[in-house]
A and B are shown apart, each in its own frame.
Chain A
């Protein structure tokens, strides 16, 4: 429980309405995209950087921890108040300060929803390439907290690659500005890159300078259909080997084709073993050539290859892909999403590995993958109410992580470590590297006040 003094001060800082301490309010800030939950001491929603500074100082005076939160859609337990802490919610910092199309920069507050930014940018024919499937809900602050990826990552890179600079409130209450609106890297340490992907454990981001790009003049969306998911993975390897870089190269297996079809009715064949969604963009005159080459490679194995003809068709295909995680509760109520990533060339082996884990442990796994990046999201479906089944799922997840590491991969491509993947981190990094992580955390946050217990234990 927060003392009356603290509650009163918080209300003075952000206003009565922006402080939550009742049980109902707290319950709704205790969960995220995972199956975990916790209960915060309170929730405070600042609207300005100054308020954030005041909050941090107040928390320091009273030795209270803070958990930063955007939309709470992360898949790693990153916003769970797992220790006694106040949640600081950025959903009310939603201003788009500036869109500068001459210098390809937008300046936004962390609570701006990715989709809302895209809508504003589109009015000026620009866009922000990182587009996690959750983009209609997730915030820029959360995107950078996890260094999220999205379908377009294959060609355009992840959130990190679009962060020019940040305004950050440090655990001591001081404000720093990293980077800036210019492309040139900053002199000295690249602090921007240390903060991005740090899951809120180093600082609270209150302003973001993001890089934006003009919308490509043309794009083509293709579908390749396969009997087996292994076949699809071979096309992925072939395309990569041919040195082609499509904008997106996304894979969904039969299970996900069916759950997403239930929702979108996009017309994907329900009997296909897997589908690859391939998109290329660029100048109109380049499109035909690229489509032709990809068509030739895919058709070697695919049972069908087709190019989407209308904008509506393209829209439906993407709605399907984007709702993949969302739709699996149609099969079983709970899911564990894995985020393993392997070198592209090992992608077919990783697919084989996933199928083996499903068989060995007798669990249902649906596979969706940012195949171009070698990033797989095997979704293990189960019912959390069944303790025994849940145990098996945990074991299967561990097996998946080990399999990825064996293939020279990583346990997390884009969802972050949070609480969920913490136990596997020292399998991926040497003790010396783990110690380097801890040292960085300590130098920013010696008293472990920001998002304690996430990524690493001190």
Chain B
């Protein structure tokens, strides 16, 4: 019970005031008390008190949490519902040896680069072709599988280890992350383009692995740690000339920057190295804003209305909100329109979209409606998982907007 004992004071600090009811999308859309921070916390507490033996319904309550962190910002008592859910997932994993979802093989797949590549291809290629034959199966649980992009070749296999520029002002280590490597390789190329246009030499270590976030979120700290260790050692030991470790995926960036510290809290001897690494981590927009963007070469021939979606890990994890909006507005002839509830979760939330698709679909539908209301031509965001989820939702709703990474828009403007 160690994990829950560690967070017991926080569990006990929830005084059931209901302040999280409006914050928690899974509750707002279902009206079910097991689907709100307050309910989840009371259940975790019941388990910690030995009054409840974890069962399927308990796992559902814990696993359906989006980890969006909205409850933590809203709670007057400073209770962090998302962290308590994380502790509960860890506790489940320790009790059972495997996380419930690991059964579904998704997490195991993510843990190994080889299997991961296969997984993406299977899902995007074979899986798609089979499903293509089945009428009406364009959407598997609200996920737009027919249009699920897969890179023909991993991004890491497409590029050299170092991409030099003429007069380098900066040396940037690029942490690519699974989604940009296996699925949205175009976006990874955009990141490289924007960096090089701004006099950055780009260093792309070939032996980088998954950041460990998916495993961490579902309580498998061991795998998460082993991945984290490899990432840290690679960047710090082998590529120590990289001034920063840049990620264009908000979720990876927030994991690398904040969660690694928590993950290694019990290893004091290694912690200083982790700290060093975390300090180097920077998110794409944040970095571009910091070094100052070469604006004179940004071109755009036709007027474009753009709106922006704040990924959960961007707004509540990294707390970066202004920079991406500023970058978008630097592009000539871009009219920026803010959408309603731009900073609320898109509904993807890791595996929640696959296992609790009814809630996720409702959340995404709200999001696509908010996008539609802005009359924007294009939605920009900073997280590949959001990109896929949003594009799927938009397609499903029969809307026309295209979803792009901030880096994609900038890269395009550098080409024009």
Chain A residue nearest to B19 (CB atoms) is: A326
Give B28 Cβ to nearest chain A Cβ, in Å. 9
Contact A329 B77 (CB under 8 A): yes
Quick check: B33 and A113 within 8 Å, CB to CB?
Answer: no
Residue from B9, B17, B34, B52 within 8 A of A326 (CB atoms): B17
Cα–Cα distance between A326 and B14 once the two chains are bound (Å): 9
Judged by a CB distance under 8 angstroms, whether B295 is at the interface is no
The answer to the question of B109 belonging to the interface, with a C-beta cut-off of 8 Å to chain A, is no
Question: Given the known A-B contacts A28-B39, A94-B31, A263-B76, are A113 and B52 also in contact in the complex, defined by CB atoms under 8 Å?
Answer: no
Q: Are B33 and A24 in contact (CB under 8 A)?
A: no
Once the chains are docked, how many angstroms separate the CA of A327 from the CA of B42?
18
User: Is A33's CB under 8 angstroms from B55's CB?
Assistant: no
Minimal Cβ-Cβ distance residue in A for B40:
A28
CB < 8 Å: which of A24, A111, A329 contacts B61? A24
A137 touches B21 (CB 8 A): yes
- Whether, in the assembled complex, A247 has its beta carbon less than 8 Å from a beta carbon of chain B, the answer is no
Counting CB contacts under 8 A, is B13 at the interface? yes
CB pair B16–A325 under 8 Å, yes or no, is no
CB distance from B88 to the nearest CB of A (A): 12
Q: How many residues of A contact B (CB 8 A)?
A: 38
Q: Which residues of A lie under 8 Å from residue B57 when comparing CB positions? A: 22-25
Out of B16, B34, B76, B78, which one reaches A24, CB within 8 Å? B34
A138 touches B16 (CB 8 A): no
Known: A27-B43, A263-B78. A71 touches B18 (CB 8 A): yes
Interface members, chain A 24-68 (any B CB < 8 Å): 24-25, 27-29, 31-33, 45
Contact flags A324-343 to B (C-beta < 8 A → 1, else 0): 01111110011100000000
Chain A nearest CB, measured from B206 CB (Å):
46
How far apart sit A329 and B46, CA to CA, in the bound complex (Å)? 19
Cβ-defined partner of B14 (8 Å) among A29, A89, A134, A329: A329
Cβ of A197 within 8 Å of any chain B Cβ, yes or no, is no
Known: A23-B52, A31-B42, A92-B31. A136 touches B19 (CB 8 A): yes
Is A413's CB within 8 Å of the partner chain B?
no
Interface: B274 (CB within 8 A): no
Q: Chain A residues near B58: list those with CB within 8 A.
A: 24
A262 within 8 Å of B by Cβ? yes
Query: Which chain B residues border A113 with CB–CB below 8 Å?
Result: 21-22
A325 neighbours in B (Cβ, 8 Å): 15, 17, 76
A260 at the B interface (CB under 8 A):
yes
Task: Tell whether A372 is near chain B: CB-to-CB under 8 Å.
Answer: no
Q: Tell me whether A260 and B76 are in contact (CB under 8 A).
A: yes
Assembled-state Cα–Cα distance A31/B38 (Å): 10
Q: Closest Cβ of chain B: how far from A365's Cβ, in Å?
A: 16
Q: How near does chain A come to B369, taking the closest CB pair, in angstroms?
A: 15
Can you name the residue of chain B whose Cβ is closest to the Cβ of A47? Answer: B31
In the complex, B75 has a CB within 8 A of chain A: yes
Interface mask (A9-27 → B, CB under 8 Å = 1, otherwise 0): 0000000000000111101
Whether A334 and B76, one on each chain, are in contact in the complex, defined by CB atoms closer than 8 angstroms, is no
Q: How far is the CB of B220 from chain A (nearest CB, A)?
A: 23
- Closest B residue to A116 by beta carbon equals B22
Contact of B21 among A23, A32, A71 (CB under 8 A): A71
Contact A137 B18 (CB under 8 A): yes
Contacting pair A326 B39 (CB below 8 A)? no
A94 to B12, CA, bound (A): 31
> Which of B9, B21, B22, B43 is packed against the most chain A CB atoms within 10 Å?
B21
Instruction: Classify the secondary structure of B's interface with A.
Output: loop
- Select the residue from A136, A138, A260, A326 with max chain B CB neighbours within 10 A: A326
Give the docked Cα–Cα distance between A113 and B19 (Å). 12
Minimal beta-carbon separation of B326 from chain A (angstroms): 21
- Let me know if A335 and B15 touch, CB within 8 A: yes
Q: How far is the CA of A92 from the CA of B57 in the complex (A)?
A: 20
Q: Which of B9, B17, B21, B79 has the most CB of A within 10 A?
A: B17
Q: Specify the chain A residue showing the minimal Cβ separation from B22.
A: A136
Closest to A69 in B: B33
A323 at the interface (CB under 8 A from B): yes
Contact B19 A137 (CB under 8 A): yes
Q: Is A364 positioned at the interface, with any CB of B under 8 Å from its CB?
A: no
- Known contacts A22-B57, A25-B34, A31-B42; A327/B76 CB under 8 A: yes
A330-B31 in contact (CB<8A): no
| Residues of B59-96 contacting chain A, CB below 8 A | 61, 75-79
Question: Does any Cβ of B come within 8 Å of A148's Cβ?
Answer: no
Q: Which residues of A contact B17 (CB under 8 A)?
A: 33, 73, 134, 137, 325-326
For residue A92, which residue of chain B has the nearest CB? B31
Whether B52 pairs with A31 at a CB distance below 8 angstroms is: no
Taking the closest CB of chain B, its distance from the CB of A138, in whole angstroms, is: 7
The answer to whether B12 touches A326, judged by C-beta atoms less than 8 angstroms apart, is no
A28 touches B13 (CB 8 A): no
A260 to B19, CA, bound (A): 13
Contact indicator B13/A24 (Cβ below 8 Å):
no
- A28-B22 CB under 8 A given contacts A91-B31, A325-B17, A330-B13: no
Which residue of the partner chain A has the closest CB to B23? A136
Q: Is the CB of B18 within 8 A of A73?
A: yes
Q: Are B31 and A23 in contact (CB under 8 A)?
A: no
Taken residue by residue from 78 to 113, chain A's Cβ proximity to chain B (1 for < 8 Å, 0 otherwise) reads as 000000000001011010000000000000000101
Cα A137 to Cα B39 in complex, Å, equals: 13
Cβ contacts under 8 Å, A260 to chain B: 76
A28 near B19: Cβ-Cβ < 8 Å: no
Minimum distance in angstroms from B173 CB to a CB of chain A: 36
Contact indicator per residue, chain B 22-47, by CB within 8 Å of chain A (1) or not (0): 10000000011110000100110010
> CA of A453 to CA of B15 in the docked complex: distance in angstroms?
24
Could you jot down 15 A-B contacts, CB within 8 Å? A24-B34, A24-B57, A24-B58, A28-B34, A28-B39, A28-B61, A71-B18, A71-B21, A72-B18, A92-B31, A263-B76, A323-B76, A326-B15, A326-B77, A334-B15
A-B residue pairs, 4 tightest by C-beta: A326-B76, A323-B76, A137-B18, A91-B31
